[in-house]
Amino acid sequence: MAYRSSGAGYADVAAHFRKRIEDGDLAPGDPLPSVAEIREQFDVSAKTVSRALGVLKNEGLVASRGALGTVVTEPQAVTSGVDRLPRLARTGRRYGPGEDSTGHRVMIRAVGDPKIARALEMDAADEAVIRIRTFRQNGRPTSVGVSVYPPRTWTVVPELAEEGRMGEYFGIIYAERTGREVTPGERVGYQRLASQDELDALEIKVPAVTPVVVFVTDVTFHDEEGPVAYWEDVYAPDARIRIPAEPPAG
């Protein structure tokens, strides 16, 4: 299907193919259309196409392969839990090319962590459902995902307390059953020392006395009555983390 837009530029072209790659419509090894085909599709100049492809190459999404032209590369960046939601809504796919998750654990226990307790407006001794899994890219562990749900959420969505993967994003189920929309808050990133459990999940082998610094992002989800979930991603030290661009204000 042809794309026509007044004033389409290289960023538009790059964004189009970036989304197709992230959604899995273009898999590693798949060729992009030729320069002539992209020019025709977007009604842009050869220079615009060249700049767009340069952006994608710099992001590690594509590479030149001689006679094969420009092809999609193996993913190099890690996608956080909350950043999977737009793709899930667009395509129904939870994972991108080469992605999977293992080591799923579900437990009901005291929150413990004061920071998480504050985010969920709970006492640290209050019980919550805690779900943990390790995300992998082509078999290699890249991050540990932790999601915490207060009683007001898992009484509405009891599936959260069951072992195994959730078949659907909890926010959709919650909204269908309560009529209240779930919205993610601001995502925050910071560094801290990894716990031994996190090192084991990420398959990092170091002496017990060796500190390992990891990058962490977290986000709290809310409905109109308050917090309903806390998600945290702990990334392997060598992980490249994809930070989606924010849309311009106004």
**Domain at 68, CATH number:** 1.10.10.10
pTM for the complete prediction? 0.80
82 and 64 in a common domain: no
107 and 197 in a common domain: yes
In a domain, 1, yes or no: no
Instruction: Render the burial of 155-165: b for 16+ CB within 10 Å, e for the rest.
Output: ebbeebeeeee
123 and 99 in a common domain: yes
Q: For 157-186, what is the mean pLDDT?
A: 94
Q: For 126-153, what is the mean pLDDT?
A: 95
More confident residue, 60 or 106: 106
The pLDDT > 90 percentage for the chain reads 66
Q: For 115-138, what is the mean pLDDT?
A: 95
Per-residue pLDDT for 4 more than 60? no
- Rounded to the nearest integer, the mean pLDDT of the chain is 89
Give the end of a domain, one of 49, 72, 95: 72
Q: How many domains does the chain have?
A: 2
97 and 29 in a common domain: no
Backbone angles phi, psi at 189, to 5 degrees: -120, 145
Confidence of residue 194 (pLDDT cuts 50, 70, 90): very high
In a domain, 237, yes or no: yes
Q: Give the CATH number for residue 103.
A: 3.40.1410.10
83 and 60 in a common domain: no
Please tell me the predicted confidence (pLDDT) of residue 250. Answer: 41
Q: For 223-242, what is the mean pLDDT?
A: 92
Q: How many CB atoms lie within 10 A of CB 244?
A: 13
Q: What is the DSSP string of 194-220?
A: PPHHHHHHTT----TT---EEEEEEEE
In a domain, 200, yes or no: yes
62 contacts 53 by C-beta, under 8 angstroms: yes
Confidence of residue 248 (pLDDT cuts 50, 70, 90): very low
Per-residue pLDDT for 25 more than 90? no
193 and 108 in a common domain: yes
Degrees, nearest 5: CA angle 22-28-30: 100
Please tell me the predicted confidence (pLDDT) of residue 7. Answer: 52
Strand 240-241 to strand 77-78: parallel, antiparallel, or no bridges (unpaired)?
parallel
Please tell me the predicted confidence (pLDDT) of residue 217. Answer: 94
Please tell me the predicted confidence (pLDDT) of residue 22. Answer: 82
- C-alpha 178/C-alpha 226 separation (Å) is 13
Q: How many residues can be counted in the chain?
A: 250
210 and 90 in a common domain: yes
Please tell me the predicted confidence (pLDDT) of residue 243. Answer: 72
Please tell me the predicted confidence (pLDDT) of residue 165. Answer: 87
59 and 115 in a common domain: no
In a domain, 249, yes or no: no
Q: Which is nearest to 47 in space by CA: 62, 35, 33?
A: 35
Query: How many Cα atoms are found within 13 Å in the side-chain-facing hemisphere of 104?
Result: 9
Domain that holds residue 231: 77-241
94 and 44 in a common domain: no
Please tell me the predicted confidence (pLDDT) of residue 96. Answer: 80
In a domain, 5, yes or no: no
Q: For 28-44, what is the mean pLDDT?
A: 92
Per-residue pLDDT for 5 more than 50? no
185 and 87 in a common domain: yes
The pLDDT > 70 percentage for the chain reads 94
